[in-house]
Chains A and B, each alone.
Chain A
């Protein structure tokens, strides 16, 4: 610790602090423009100059100068104010003054500083900038005439997002921020740069001329897309979410968001939303009132053949609890969520080995991890903001990143990243081989671990040399990975699960958990194994047991039973299985076979179109409750707006339905229901809803120790050897099918595509955008070609978000589908 005096006040701070941070700690606010707390110090704007007695003769930039023992700092004096004022005068020489029409007006840092320092005249005259405005994309407007060259956008895009869109170009007076070759912005449009810009140089286009900042009501909630669980702050006016506000003051993500969180909110305001219940009459879905619709639902569920309930994973915890009560009232244990197969890795695999069905650590613990192993999915695409955490660990803390995957992505390009690029579906083989090396080299942690001999026995099939031959990953890479994981003091293994990653999920859960045990990662005090659900409340669904009850059917079994005609009713909540589940034909047969189908959703999805009753539900922005994210963090959702028309929250619908079924909800409001969650899961007991602050509450504490230590032998797969194989997954711009209703992501990636390697494209003489016919599993679909460097030869990738492509006519849940490819 270091002692220093600032404006006469003694302060003791860590020696890594800068003068600015030390002053901030005692409530002294030094003005800044280029400084941002989540970025590295830069020192570009010279607004934060202070006097230091030991460094007389010049003014010192407080945001870049580290504190030293005995320092005596003055943050405000006549001379300092004069210099700060001059700095502003310089900036205002060429900054265009168009505050009346600038969306930043009212929250512009330059405007505020000018006002605060009373810069009413300018002693200097010069040319104003006259750069054209970049409006080449639908999200971010760049008006470089308003830029003050603080470099925050350049730095956030590099340090945190690792995309590198911007750079300072030219020199001297001509210096400006530009993209490569000064073109229009073409990036992943996370909008991080917009959130960082102190002035109106970077603005969210969807929000242009919508409202002045002070007219907006701010409501803190949780993003409804993926399991990352980022805090989002709605900017609400006229009962519409006008924008997502930048907020790094509270919340869990330092104000970081991806394109979905920042620009994907618009589906909430969509005019395609369902506003009234629909009931099928004479073959047509027609509008009805709630009374009629719910009576029909209750009747349909009581017809005797039994009901199956399939839920999505974007319901709140409280709604899950009520859903379980609905299941009980309907007398069924056929309850399950999402793809049914996709989270088996968690509930069966990891559970079997570690006795846990959740991540052991929290996201921030990964920030200073020394070794990170990312399995299968590129977290930049499934959980982009967690991806940013990993990025910071690698770039700032020098973490070693290992990626086991079947395609390249942003992770593989990070410095120090080693990619173990295997053939699709062979991740288990690779993890087994790493385990084999650990055991062979004697570096494995085996104390107190059961099942060692059986595992050793099974791993004889996974000698590195053999696995290398199978998968295409080199022996050296496998050995190096094992060595690094064994040497890790604070390691993290990341495993994503979701609808598009259903194959081998149980096996992969086991293999990853085995590795976590043998490498000692599971027994660290922090970090460890991260199992990250695809949807906003995937973890809540597992915690609260939205799973088949005793002798109950899982999703796949329900679909089979319905198709056979042996299940009377299907009640599908917040999910569009026809589009998003593997094996669409099976879903179609189930919807036809079931006597009665109810769909509860925001939109008239393809599944809803096949229903007998459609119930209009509320979006995440319209409800109170809690979500549990992939690091076990329980966070509060807050309603920002009212639902359109007669749409109701799932909570309200379940409560009414319970009445129709002759039961009653155990609590009247989500708030009261929260206390009841402890009945379903001990970890939720004793948490006070009102104590859940902006940081949420991590159930079980910041770190979970394994409850058991059972190594479990697990088999990998032989890779396909056909010329072409198709894999599916998530694309960055989308999340499930919901984003296809959101203007933001939809404008970035408006249509489905199939990605393939340059080599394959050359062989087929394909150009970007050419139509391709893909045949497999007895079906054929057509997709546009996207040519890139991410995929190995012979591997095709098609994202799974789009209805209408019929991807799931081909994809039946395999790791990779054998396909034929034709122009």
Chain B
């Protein structure tokens, strides 16, 4: 478990929202995926307590849910930053120096692929092609795309998000 996850585990998770989500799907067959997606939407990741609650209420083994969670890349078991910085490492971006962008993120935020800052503000992810090769190299911060990046531009983008809450 990473340090961030350990910290999260120490804090009690408010299960009200999870219960509300489960209320909606309680009697629907085969609703595990939408339930997990809704939980992740709300909490930003899948806290362990919500897995046990879901197992209990939907009568699915916790082990099975864990199997689903680890199979799909879309689910995260550890808290993630408020801002997800995705650095594209696809072929075009790679050629255009995406590696240096990755290095710069590490310098600025102290995190690399699949890591989260201690204040849970930023998570860095190296991703394969995000389909914007024309603007390579590309990064995304949450849903916003930033193309034709340079180390200088990256500094500005990160600084912008650092100033935000």
Binding site for B on A (CB under 8 A): 158, 163-171, 178-182, 413, 415, 789
In the complex, the answer to whether A181 meets B48 with C-beta atoms within 8 Å is: yes
Binding site for A on B (CB under 8 A): 48, 51, 55-56, 59, 61-67, 70-71, 77
Q: Say whether, besides A169-B70, A170-B71, A789 and B64 are in contact (CB < 8 Å).
A: no
Give the residue among A158, A164, A179 with the most B Cβ atoms within 10 A: A164
In the complex, the answer to whether B63 meets A166 with C-beta atoms within 8 Å is: yes
Q: Say whether, besides A164-B61, A169-B71, A789 and B56 are in contact (CB < 8 Å).
A: yes
The complex places the Cα of A178 from the Cα of B51 at a distance, in Å, of: 15
- Which DSSP category, helix, strand, loop or mixed, fits chain B's interface? helix
Quick one: which of A167, A171, A181 contacts B61, CB cutoff 8 A?
A: A167
| Closest A-B pairs by Cβ, 4 of them | A164-B61, A167-B67, A180-B62, A167-B63
Give the residue among A168, A169, A179, A180 with the most B Cβ atoms within 10 A: A180
- Which A residues lie within 8 Å of B62 (CB)? 164, 180-181
Closest to A174 in B: B70
**How close is A392's CB to chain B, nearest CB, in angstroms?**
17
Q: Say whether, besides A164-B61, A415-B59, A789-B56, A182 and B71 are in contact (CB < 8 Å).
A: no
The complex places the Cα of A166 from the Cα of B63 at a distance, in Å, of: 6
In the complex, the answer to whether B67 meets A169 with C-beta atoms within 8 Å is: yes
- Which A residues lie within 8 Å of B56 (CB)? 789
The complex places the Cα of A415 from the Cα of B60 at a distance, in Å, of: 10
Closest to B59 in A: A413
The complex places the Cα of A200 from the Cα of B71 at a distance, in Å, of: 25
Quick one: which of A167, A171, A181, A413 contacts B64, CB cutoff 8 A?
A: A167
In the complex, the answer to whether B70 meets A164 with C-beta atoms within 8 Å is: no
In the complex, the answer to whether A167 meets B66 with C-beta atoms within 8 Å is: yes
Can you list 30 A-B contacts with CB-CB less than 8 angstroms, sorted by A residue number? Answer: A158-B61, A163-B61, A164-B63, A164-B64, A165-B61, A165-B63, A166-B63, A167-B64, A167-B66, A168-B67, A169-B66, A169-B67, A169-B71, A170-B70, A171-B70, A171-B71, A178-B66, A179-B63, A179-B66, A180-B55, A180-B62, A180-B63, A180-B65, A180-B66, A181-B48, A181-B62, A181-B66, A181-B77, A182-B66, A789-B56
- A-B contacts at CB below 8 angstroms, number: 44
- Which A residues lie within 8 Å of B51 (CB)? 180-181
The complex places the Cα of A163 from the Cα of B60 at a distance, in Å, of: 10
- Which B residues lie within 8 Å of A180 (CB)? 51, 55, 61-63, 65-66
Closest to B66 in A: A180
The complex places the Cα of A73 from the Cα of B66 at a distance, in Å, of: 40
Closest to B56 in A: A789
The complex places the Cα of A586 from the Cα of B159 at a distance, in Å, of: 81
The complex places the Cα of A789 from the Cα of B67 at a distance, in Å, of: 24
Give the residue among B62, B65, B67 with the most A Cβ atoms within 10 A: B67
The complex places the Cα of A716 from the Cα of B15 at a distance, in Å, of: 41
The complex places the Cα of A785 from the Cα of B65 at a distance, in Å, of: 29
Closest to A415 in B: B59
The complex places the Cα of A168 from the Cα of B59 at a distance, in Å, of: 18
The complex places the Cα of A801 from the Cα of B65 at a distance, in Å, of: 35
**How close is B79's CB to chain A, nearest CB, in angstroms?**
15
Closest to A168 in B: B67
Give 12 A-B pairs besides A164-B63, A170-B70 with Cβ atoms closer than 8 angstroms: A165-B61, A167-B66, A169-B67, A169-B70, A180-B51, A180-B63, A180-B65, A181-B51, A182-B66, A413-B59, A415-B59, A789-B56
The complex places the Cα of A167 from the Cα of B62 at a distance, in Å, of: 9
- Which A residues lie within 8 Å of B55 (CB)? 180
The complex places the Cα of A180 from the Cα of B51 at a distance, in Å, of: 9
Closest to B72 in A: A171
- Which A residues lie within 8 Å of B64 (CB)? 164, 167
- Which A residues lie within 8 Å of B66 (CB)? 167, 169, 178-182
Closest to A167 in B: B67
The complex places the Cα of A565 from the Cα of B113 at a distance, in Å, of: 83
Closest to B71 in A: A171
- Which B residues lie within 8 Å of A165 (CB)? 61, 63
- Which A residues lie within 8 Å of B77 (CB)? 181
**How close is B6's CB to chain A, nearest CB, in angstroms?**
13
Closest to B61 in A: A164
The complex places the Cα of A164 from the Cα of B65 at a distance, in Å, of: 11
The complex places the Cα of A171 from the Cα of B66 at a distance, in Å, of: 12
Closest to B48 in A: A181
Closest to A181 in B: B66
- Which B residues lie within 8 Å of A170 (CB)? 70-71
The complex places the Cα of A181 from the Cα of B61 at a distance, in Å, of: 12
- Which B residues lie within 8 Å of A413 (CB)? 59
The complex places the Cα of A590 from the Cα of B70 at a distance, in Å, of: 62
Give the residue among B51, B71, B77 with the most A Cβ atoms within 10 A: B71
Give the residue among A166, A178, A181, A415 with the most B Cβ atoms within 10 A: A181
The complex places the Cα of A168 from the Cα of B61 at a distance, in Å, of: 12
The complex places the Cα of A163 from the Cα of B55 at a distance, in Å, of: 12
**How close is A106's CB to chain B, nearest CB, in angstroms?**
31
Closest to B51 in A: A180
The complex places the Cα of A415 from the Cα of B59 at a distance, in Å, of: 8
- Which A residues lie within 8 Å of B59 (CB)? 413, 415
- Which B residues lie within 8 Å of A415 (CB)? 59
- Which B residues lie within 8 Å of A163 (CB)? 61
- Which A residues lie within 8 Å of B67 (CB)? 167-169
- Which B residues lie within 8 Å of A164 (CB)? 61-64
**How close is A185's CB to chain B, nearest CB, in angstroms?**
10
**How close is A162's CB to chain B, nearest CB, in angstroms?**
9
**How close is B42's CB to chain A, nearest CB, in angstroms?**
20
**How close is A251's CB to chain B, nearest CB, in angstroms?**
29
Closest to A164 in B: B61
- Which A residues lie within 8 Å of B70 (CB)? 169-171
